[in-house]
Amino acid sequence: MSAALLIPAMLLDAALGEPKLLWSRYPHPAVLMGRAVGWADTRLNHGPARRLKGVAAMAGLGGAALLLGWLIHLIPDCGVLEIVTVAVLLAQRSLVDHVRVVGDGLRMSITEGRRMVARIVGRDTAAMDGPAVTRAAIESAAENLSDGVIAPLLWYLIGGLPGLLLYKITNTADSMIGHRTPRHEQFGWAAARFDDLLNLIPARLTALLILLSHGRFDAARILLRDAPLHRSPNAGWPEAAMAVVLGISLSGPRSYNGEMRDFPWVYPEGQRSPGPAQIDAACTALWRAWGLMLCLTCLMVLF
Protein backbone atom coordinates (compact mmCIF):
# COMPACT_ATOMS: atom_id res chain seq x y z
CA MET A 1 0.00 0.00 0.00
CA SER A 2 2.76 2.47 0.86
CA ALA A 3 4.54 1.97 -2.45
CA ALA A 4 1.30 2.46 -4.42
CA LEU A 5 0.64 5.78 -2.68
CA LEU A 6 4.23 6.86 -3.13
CA ILE A 7 4.04 6.97 -6.93
CA PRO A 8 1.38 9.71 -7.19
CA ALA A 9 3.08 11.59 -4.34
CA MET A 10 6.40 11.61 -6.22
CA LEU A 11 4.71 12.76 -9.41
CA LEU A 12 2.77 15.48 -7.57
CA ASP A 13 5.95 16.83 -5.99
CA ALA A 14 7.78 16.71 -9.32
CA ALA A 15 4.97 18.61 -11.05
CA LEU A 16 4.18 21.29 -8.46
CA GLY A 17 7.15 21.59 -6.11
CA GLU A 18 6.36 24.17 -3.44
CA PRO A 19 3.60 26.52 -4.72
CA LYS A 20 4.39 30.02 -3.45
CA LEU A 21 0.72 31.00 -3.32
CA LEU A 22 -0.05 28.18 -0.89
CA TRP A 23 2.95 28.54 1.41
CA SER A 24 2.73 32.33 1.50
CA ARG A 25 -0.66 31.92 3.19
CA TYR A 26 -0.11 28.86 5.34
CA PRO A 27 2.93 27.57 7.26
CA HIS A 28 4.76 24.72 5.56
CA PRO A 29 4.86 21.49 7.63
CA ALA A 30 8.65 21.84 7.79
CA VAL A 31 8.15 25.27 9.36
CA LEU A 32 5.80 23.77 11.94
CA MET A 33 8.36 21.08 12.71
CA GLY A 34 10.99 23.80 13.12
CA ARG A 35 8.76 25.62 15.58
CA ALA A 36 8.34 22.43 17.61
CA VAL A 37 12.11 21.90 17.72
CA GLY A 38 12.64 25.56 18.61
CA TRP A 39 10.12 25.28 21.43
CA ALA A 40 11.93 22.25 22.86
CA ASP A 41 15.26 24.06 22.55
CA THR A 42 13.95 27.13 24.39
CA ARG A 43 12.20 25.21 27.13
CA LEU A 44 14.75 22.47 27.84
CA ASN A 45 18.21 23.55 26.70
CA HIS A 46 19.47 25.07 29.93
CA GLY A 47 20.82 23.99 33.29
CA PRO A 48 22.38 20.58 34.03
CA ALA A 49 21.92 17.27 32.20
CA ARG A 50 21.50 18.89 28.79
CA ARG A 51 22.35 15.71 26.89
CA LEU A 52 19.68 13.77 28.78
CA LYS A 53 17.19 16.57 28.12
CA GLY A 54 18.09 16.45 24.43
CA VAL A 55 17.42 12.70 24.38
CA ALA A 56 14.05 13.29 26.04
CA ALA A 57 13.22 16.06 23.58
CA MET A 58 13.97 13.84 20.58
CA ALA A 59 11.94 11.00 22.10
CA GLY A 60 8.99 13.33 22.57
CA LEU A 61 9.24 14.89 19.11
CA GLY A 62 9.71 11.50 17.47
CA GLY A 63 6.79 9.99 19.36
CA ALA A 64 4.54 12.87 18.34
CA ALA A 65 5.59 12.45 14.70
CA LEU A 66 4.83 8.72 14.78
CA LEU A 67 1.42 9.33 16.34
CA LEU A 68 0.51 12.04 13.82
CA GLY A 69 1.51 9.83 10.90
CA TRP A 70 -0.56 6.97 12.25
CA LEU A 71 -3.63 9.20 12.72
CA ILE A 72 -3.41 10.60 9.18
CA HIS A 73 -3.04 7.09 7.80
CA LEU A 74 -6.27 6.05 9.58
CA ILE A 75 -8.39 8.73 7.85
CA PRO A 76 -10.80 6.90 5.48
CA ASP A 77 -10.15 9.03 2.36
CA CYS A 78 -8.55 6.40 0.08
CA GLY A 79 -5.13 7.78 0.96
CA VAL A 80 -5.64 11.25 -0.56
CA LEU A 81 -4.42 13.21 2.46
CA GLU A 82 -1.50 10.81 2.86
CA ILE A 83 -0.46 11.30 -0.77
CA VAL A 84 -0.60 15.07 -0.40
CA THR A 85 1.35 14.94 2.87
CA VAL A 86 4.09 12.83 1.34
CA ALA A 87 4.29 15.10 -1.72
CA VAL A 88 4.60 18.17 0.49
CA LEU A 89 7.42 16.59 2.49
CA LEU A 90 9.43 15.63 -0.59
CA ALA A 91 11.79 18.20 -2.09
CA GLN A 92 12.77 17.01 -5.57
CA ARG A 93 11.30 19.84 -7.65
CA SER A 94 12.26 22.58 -5.18
CA LEU A 95 15.79 21.18 -4.88
CA VAL A 96 16.33 21.26 -8.64
CA ASP A 97 14.87 24.78 -8.83
CA HIS A 98 17.12 26.10 -6.04
CA VAL A 99 20.24 24.57 -7.56
CA ARG A 100 19.48 25.64 -11.12
CA VAL A 101 19.15 29.33 -10.21
CA VAL A 102 22.75 29.28 -8.94
CA GLY A 103 23.94 28.43 -12.44
CA ASP A 104 21.64 31.07 -13.90
CA GLY A 105 23.05 33.60 -11.44
CA LEU A 106 26.62 32.72 -12.32
CA ARG A 107 25.89 33.35 -15.98
CA MET A 108 24.85 36.88 -15.01
CA SER A 109 27.71 37.70 -12.63
CA ILE A 110 29.82 36.24 -9.85
CA THR A 111 27.96 38.48 -7.38
CA GLU A 112 24.61 37.04 -8.42
CA GLY A 113 26.00 33.51 -8.26
CA ARG A 114 27.22 34.12 -4.72
CA ARG A 115 23.83 35.55 -3.74
CA MET A 116 21.98 32.54 -5.08
CA VAL A 117 24.28 29.92 -3.54
CA ALA A 118 24.11 31.67 -0.16
CA ARG A 119 20.46 30.60 -0.04
CA ILE A 120 21.30 26.91 0.03
CA VAL A 121 24.66 26.58 1.85
CA GLY A 122 25.88 27.52 5.29
CA ARG A 123 29.49 28.35 4.44
CA ASP A 124 30.98 31.79 3.76
CA THR A 125 30.20 32.90 0.20
CA ALA A 126 31.48 36.50 0.01
CA ALA A 127 34.94 35.60 -1.32
CA MET A 128 33.94 32.63 -3.50
CA ASP A 129 35.09 32.52 -7.11
CA GLY A 130 33.02 30.87 -9.85
CA PRO A 131 34.29 27.30 -9.35
CA ALA A 132 33.76 27.55 -5.59
CA VAL A 133 30.18 28.71 -6.11
CA THR A 134 29.65 25.85 -8.55
CA ARG A 135 31.07 23.23 -6.18
CA ALA A 136 28.95 24.53 -3.30
CA ALA A 137 25.78 24.29 -5.37
CA ILE A 138 26.56 20.77 -6.61
CA GLU A 139 27.54 19.55 -3.14
CA SER A 140 24.23 20.90 -1.81
CA ALA A 141 22.42 19.15 -4.66
CA ALA A 142 24.02 15.79 -3.84
CA GLU A 143 23.50 16.03 -0.08
CA ASN A 144 19.92 17.24 -0.33
CA LEU A 145 19.01 14.59 -2.88
CA SER A 146 19.76 12.15 -0.08
CA ASP A 147 18.28 14.13 2.84
CA GLY A 148 15.32 15.70 1.07
CA VAL A 149 14.26 13.06 -1.44
CA ILE A 150 15.70 9.54 -1.20
CA ALA A 151 15.74 9.26 2.60
CA PRO A 152 12.10 10.38 2.99
CA LEU A 153 11.09 7.99 0.20
CA LEU A 154 12.94 5.09 1.78
CA TRP A 155 11.58 5.70 5.26
CA TYR A 156 8.07 5.96 3.85
CA LEU A 157 8.54 2.59 2.16
CA ILE A 158 9.85 1.13 5.42
CA GLY A 159 7.49 2.71 7.93
CA GLY A 160 4.68 4.38 6.03
CA LEU A 161 3.72 7.93 6.94
CA PRO A 162 4.84 7.48 10.58
CA GLY A 163 8.30 6.50 9.34
CA LEU A 164 8.47 9.49 7.00
CA LEU A 165 7.39 11.98 9.68
CA LEU A 166 9.86 10.48 12.16
CA TYR A 167 12.64 11.00 9.63
CA LYS A 168 11.58 14.56 8.82
CA ILE A 169 11.37 15.72 12.44
CA THR A 170 14.77 14.15 13.13
CA ASN A 171 16.35 15.78 10.08
CA THR A 172 14.81 19.14 11.03
CA ALA A 173 16.12 18.84 14.57
CA ASP A 174 19.59 17.96 13.33
CA SER A 175 19.66 21.02 11.05
CA MET A 176 18.63 23.29 13.94
CA ILE A 177 20.32 21.91 17.04
CA GLY A 178 22.68 19.15 15.84
CA HIS A 179 25.74 21.41 15.79
CA ARG A 180 28.94 21.28 17.83
CA THR A 181 28.49 24.71 19.35
CA PRO A 182 28.64 25.63 23.05
CA ARG A 183 24.85 25.85 23.13
CA HIS A 184 23.97 22.70 21.22
CA GLU A 185 26.84 20.23 21.52
CA GLN A 186 25.14 18.47 24.44
CA PHE A 187 21.45 19.16 23.84
CA GLY A 188 21.66 18.40 20.12
CA TRP A 189 23.71 15.22 20.53
CA ALA A 190 20.71 12.89 20.26
CA ALA A 191 19.32 14.67 17.20
CA ALA A 192 22.67 14.54 15.39
CA ARG A 193 23.35 10.88 16.19
CA PHE A 194 19.82 9.74 15.34
CA ASP A 195 19.95 11.67 12.06
CA ASP A 196 23.26 9.99 11.22
CA LEU A 197 21.67 6.61 11.89
CA LEU A 198 18.54 7.28 9.81
CA ASN A 199 20.65 8.52 6.88
CA LEU A 200 23.12 5.63 6.94
CA ILE A 201 21.35 3.53 4.30
CA PRO A 202 19.70 6.37 2.30
CA ALA A 203 23.02 8.13 1.68
CA ARG A 204 24.56 5.01 0.21
CA LEU A 205 21.40 4.23 -1.76
CA THR A 206 21.50 7.77 -3.19
CA ALA A 207 25.08 7.27 -4.32
CA LEU A 208 24.10 3.99 -5.97
CA LEU A 209 21.15 5.60 -7.76
CA ILE A 210 23.36 8.39 -9.10
CA LEU A 211 25.94 5.94 -10.43
CA LEU A 212 23.47 3.44 -11.87
CA SER A 213 21.38 6.12 -13.56
CA HIS A 214 24.55 7.19 -15.41
CA GLY A 215 25.77 3.68 -16.19
CA ARG A 216 28.88 4.13 -14.02
CA PHE A 217 29.13 0.56 -12.83
CA ASP A 218 32.90 0.97 -12.63
CA ALA A 219 32.95 3.69 -9.96
CA ALA A 220 32.51 1.62 -6.80
CA ARG A 221 36.25 1.75 -6.11
CA ILE A 222 36.31 5.55 -6.22
CA LEU A 223 33.26 5.73 -3.99
CA LEU A 224 34.81 3.46 -1.38
CA ARG A 225 38.04 5.45 -1.55
CA ASP A 226 36.68 8.99 -1.27
CA ALA A 227 33.35 8.87 0.58
CA PRO A 228 34.90 7.96 3.98
CA LEU A 229 37.22 11.00 3.72
CA HIS A 230 34.29 13.37 4.00
CA ARG A 231 33.72 15.18 7.29
CA SER A 232 30.19 13.71 7.41
CA PRO A 233 29.63 9.96 7.84
CA ASN A 234 26.89 10.08 5.19
CA ALA A 235 27.16 13.15 2.93
CA GLY A 236 30.38 11.93 1.33
CA TRP A 237 28.59 9.09 -0.48
CA PRO A 238 26.21 11.09 -2.70
CA GLU A 239 28.88 13.79 -3.11
CA ALA A 240 31.47 11.30 -4.32
CA ALA A 241 28.97 9.75 -6.72
CA MET A 242 28.00 13.15 -8.11
CA ALA A 243 31.65 14.11 -8.50
CA VAL A 244 32.36 10.96 -10.51
CA VAL A 245 29.42 11.25 -12.92
CA LEU A 246 30.15 14.94 -13.54
CA GLY A 247 33.92 14.45 -13.74
CA ILE A 248 34.69 17.20 -11.22
CA SER A 249 36.37 17.50 -7.82
CA LEU A 250 34.14 18.43 -4.87
CA SER A 251 34.63 19.38 -1.23
CA GLY A 252 38.15 20.69 -0.59
CA PRO A 253 39.07 23.86 1.36
CA ARG A 254 36.29 26.25 2.32
CA SER A 255 35.51 28.94 4.88
CA TYR A 256 33.05 28.79 7.77
CA ASN A 257 32.51 31.84 9.98
CA GLY A 258 35.69 33.45 8.67
CA GLU A 259 37.85 30.37 9.31
CA MET A 260 39.36 28.43 6.42
CA ARG A 261 39.17 24.67 6.80
CA ASP A 262 41.36 22.37 4.75
CA PHE A 263 38.97 19.53 3.93
CA PRO A 264 40.20 16.82 1.55
CA TRP A 265 39.05 16.73 -2.06
CA VAL A 266 36.43 14.25 -3.17
CA TYR A 267 37.44 12.76 -6.55
CA PRO A 268 40.65 14.83 -6.67
CA GLU A 269 41.45 13.73 -10.24
CA GLY A 270 38.34 15.51 -11.51
CA GLN A 271 38.10 18.97 -13.08
CA ARG A 272 38.88 21.76 -10.60
CA SER A 273 37.23 24.67 -12.46
CA PRO A 274 33.58 23.73 -13.00
CA GLY A 275 30.98 26.29 -13.99
CA PRO A 276 27.29 26.75 -14.82
CA ALA A 277 27.31 23.90 -17.35
CA GLN A 278 28.23 21.46 -14.56
CA ILE A 279 25.41 22.85 -12.39
CA ASP A 280 22.99 22.14 -15.24
CA ALA A 281 24.43 18.62 -15.50
CA ALA A 282 23.95 18.16 -11.74
CA CYS A 283 20.28 19.11 -12.09
CA THR A 284 19.93 16.51 -14.83
CA ALA A 285 21.62 13.98 -12.55
CA LEU A 286 19.06 14.76 -9.82
CA TRP A 287 16.22 13.92 -12.19
CA ARG A 288 17.92 10.77 -13.46
CA ALA A 289 18.40 9.44 -9.92
CA TRP A 290 14.81 10.40 -9.07
CA GLY A 291 13.56 8.66 -12.20
CA LEU A 292 15.39 5.47 -11.32
CA MET A 293 13.88 5.58 -7.82
CA LEU A 294 10.43 6.04 -9.36
CA CYS A 295 11.00 3.02 -11.62
CA LEU A 296 12.09 0.89 -8.67
CA THR A 297 8.98 1.96 -6.74
CA CYS A 298 6.77 0.99 -9.70
CA LEU A 299 8.43 -2.43 -9.79
CA MET A 300 7.70 -2.85 -6.08
CA VAL A 301 4.01 -2.21 -6.75
CA LEU A 302 3.92 -4.64 -9.69
CA PHE A 303 5.75 -7.45 -7.98
* Secondary structure in 3-state letters for the chain: CHHHHHHHHHHHHHHHCCCHHHHCCCCCHHHHHHHHHHHHHHHHCCCCCHHHHHHHHHHHHHHHHHHHHHHHHHCCCCCHHHHHHHHHHCCHHHHHHHHHHHHHHHHHCHHHHHHHHCCCCCCCCCCCCHHHHHHHHHHHHHHHHHHHHHHHHHHHHHHHHHHHHHHHHHHHHHHHHCCCCCCCCCCCHHHHHHHHHHCHHHHHHHHHHHHHHCCCCCCHHHHHHHHHHCCCCCCHHHHHHHHHHHCECEECCEEECCEEECCCEECCCCECCCCHHHHHHHHHHHHHHHHHHHHHHHHHHHC
Which pLDDT band holds residue 195 (cuts at 50, 70, 90)?
Answer: very high
Kindly tell me if the per-residue pLDDT of 252 is higher than 90.
no
In terms of Cβ atoms closer than 10 Å to its own Cβ (0-12, 13-18, 19+), residue 38 is middle
Kindly tell me if the per-residue pLDDT of 255 is higher than 80.
no
Which pLDDT band holds residue 1 (cuts at 50, 70, 90)?
Answer: low
For the chain, give the percent of residues with pLDDT over 70. Answer: 100
Q: Average pLDDT of the chain?
A: 94
pLDDT at position 303 is 86
- Tell me how long the chain is: 303
Q: Supply the pTM of this predicted model.
A: 0.95
**Higher per-residue confidence, 117 vs 253:** 117
CB contact burial 185-214 (16+ within 10 A = b; e otherwise):
bbbbbbbbbbbbebbeebbbbbbbbbbbbb
What's the whole-number mean pLDDT along residues 94-120? Answer: 96
pLDDT at position 129 is 92
Taking the alpha carbons of 228, 230, 236, 242 in that order, is the dihedral positive or negative? negative
CA distances from 34 to 29, 78, 209 (A): 9, 29, 30
User: Using one digit for the tens of pLDDT, what is the confidence trace for 142-168?
Assistant: 999 999 999 999 999 999 999 999 999
Which pLDDT band holds residue 10 (cuts at 50, 70, 90)?
Answer: very high
Cβ atoms of residues 96 and 269 within 8 Å: no
Kindly tell me if the per-residue pLDDT of 261 is higher than 90.
no
User: Using one digit for the tens of pLDDT, what is the confidence trace for 110-129?
Assistant: 999 999 999 998 888 888 99
What's the whole-number mean pLDDT along residues 127-144? Answer: 94
CA distance linking residue 279 with residue 277, whole number of Å: 5
User: Using one digit for the tens of pLDDT, what is the confidence trace for 20-48?
Assistant: 888 889 899 999 999 999 999 999 999 99
User: Using one digit for the tens of pLDDT, what is the confidence trace for 215-232?
Assistant: 999 999 999 999 998 888
Cβ atoms of residues 281 and 274 within 8 Å: no
